[in-house]
Structure 1
Amino acid sequence: MPESARTARDTLRETLVHLGGAPLQGGLYVCANAWEPYVEEAAHRLGAHGSLTLLTTTDLRRGDTQEPAELARRLWPLQEIADRYHRLGRIARPRLARLTGPAELSSSALLTIAVELAAELTRAMEPDPLLPPQLLPRPWPGTRAREQIAQCWAALYERDQGEARPVLFRLYADITREAADRATR
């Protein structure tokens, strides 16, 4: 993109990272997931679609590194993301205990727990490129932390009977629905 479109270029680059992309070099990004429709939509919105080049490959090498899991480790900040998920788990565990315990919880206590969980889930997931499991270290803390959040969300929904569920939290219900279904089976 030309220098005259710097703002659009910078915004598109931020969008690529937000969508899970990792910069390879000067304007070249890679993603482990199919993201073309989202990238094209962003480029159209920014008036940059004419400058966009898309390429797919299953043969990526950086230097001598070509093993997919090692490439992922080098391209994305997996340890930082793992640390955020560890924190999410530390936050979720005591809240899950409160939500599944016998003590009564007021609507304001339920809302407080929901806000705390939503904030920590956002903090953990925003930098996560959601790589396929085969590219992640095992065990991946994100899997367990998201399951704990889903259990919390299911318990929160059961506790509040819809009274304290702001529309804002529907976003988080979508994120955790699958794990919540597994947790309640």
Structure 2
Amino acid sequence: MFSVSQFALPMKRAPSAPVPAAVRALLRRWRAQRPLRAGSLLVTIFGDAIAPRGAAVTLGSLIRLAAPFGLTERLVRTSVARLARDGWLAARRSGRRSEYRLTRGGAERFTEATRRIYGQSPGAWDGRWTLLVMPPRSASRRGRPREDLKWLGFGRLNPSLYAHPGCTPGEARRWLGNLPGAADGLLLEGSSADLAGDRRLVSYGWDLEDLARRYRRFVAAFAPVESALRARAALPAGTAFVVRTLLIHEYRKIHLQDPLLPPALLPPGWVGSAAYELCRRLYARVFAPAEGYLSATARRLHRPLPPAHSAAYARFGGLARTEPAPSGSFDA
């Protein structure tokens, strides 16, 4: 088992600066979760860190990247094998070593999630709703279609009727074309009589109170981390990687359930906006040193990881293009 302050860098380097207490507390809370969802964290690492750098990495690199979070080698191997069975990852082997990359389907899912997680909040709204009427045979089916529609931002008004304020029927048709059981739905467009009616419609289709509670917990967890890091001129690369990973891991779990309603439909002082700004600021603070950690810790089968592609630097409205030189090297 790894200590909270040990970031398991198998390289020659000078001793790191002490890990801030707020970061140690954050890591302790994550590692105290039961069950410890290794697969979910590996999805975060792949989506946030590996996908922008060629979308492939050795298994040994994943084991090292996961070590600070208390994930054992055995747990990482088991979780990676499960992700491969589920169609997220594909393996390539060279002797006793293996490399995992995103499958085509996995890459497509990551692309849409990336757009939602790191993108800008919705702007002005024209007052139009896109409505989806599901046929009875489709509406009666539980599970996947309903969850897919929720993930796309549709609110469920009743078993057969869904609403979305942020897309046109044409956009919705393209989205629904890839969802089993939803492509045969009827799409309509309309508006309510006034803003009060729009907000009442929101109360029918979305549980904003629960979403707000989850955003408040996120702010409470990461605001002390931002305060602790703000006072530091230099940030250890391992600490930056841990903060960046847990930041996006916790944020994506909430944000991907957020319908991203236009500001006009949200309660005054919507806490989701504060959570977004906190995430944006903290991500910008840790991105570059965490990239240095990735360069030093992870690699492909026969070569280093390539630099992050340009789209990664457009996250949260734009990131600095500076990466500190790695302080050591090692064999994967």
Scaled by the length of structure 1, the TM-score of the pair is 0.75
Structure 2 segments unaligned to the other structure (5+ residues)? 1-134, 296-307, 321-332
| 1:97 aligns with one of 210, 224, 227 | 227
Deviations 1:48-85 (A, max 9, x none): 57622100111279xxx962223213321011111111
Deviations 1:122-143 (A, max 9, x none): 1221221111111111110011
1:63-102 superposed matches below 5 A: 67-102=197-232
Letter in 1 for 2:292: E
Report the CA distance between 1:47 and its aligned residue: 5.9
**Distance of aligned partners of 1:32 and 1:105 in 2 relative to their CA distance in 1, 3 Å threshold:** same
**Distance of aligned partners of 1:49 and 1:148 in 2 relative to their CA distance in 1, 3 Å threshold:** closer
Matched, 1:29 2:154: no
Conserved in 1, the CA contact under 8 Å of 2:192 and 2:198? Answer: no
SS at 1:56 equivalent: strand
| 1:16 aligns with one of 149, 162, 174 | 149
| 2:190 aligns with one of 57, 72, 87 | 57
| 1:113 aligns with one of 229, 240, 243 | 243
Larger radius of gyration: 2
Mean CA deviation greater in 101-110 or 145-154: 101-110
Scaled by the length of structure 2, the TM-score of the pair is 0.44
Matched, 1:137 2:232: no
Mean CA deviation greater in 146-155 or 43-52: 43-52
Structure 1 segments unaligned to the other structure (5+ residues)? none
**Distance of aligned partners of 1:17 and 1:121 in 2 relative to their CA distance in 1, 3 Å threshold:** same
**Distance of aligned partners of 1:112 and 1:162 in 2 relative to their CA distance in 1, 3 Å threshold:** closer
| 1:40 aligns with one of 173, 176, 199 | 173
Match of 1:163 in 2: 292
State the aligned residue count: 173
Conserved in 1, the CA contact under 8 Å of 2:154 and 2:164? Answer: yes
Report the CA distance between 1:10 and its aligned residue: 4.9
Deviations 1:59-113 (A, max 9, x none): 279xxx9622232133210111111111111122122123322264322211110
Match of 2:258 in 1: 128
Matched, 1:177 2:317: yes
Equivalent-residue separation in structure 2 for 1:94 and 1:86 (angstroms)? 13
Mean CA deviation greater in 103-112 or 43-52: 43-52
- The structure with the greater share of residues assigned to helix is 1
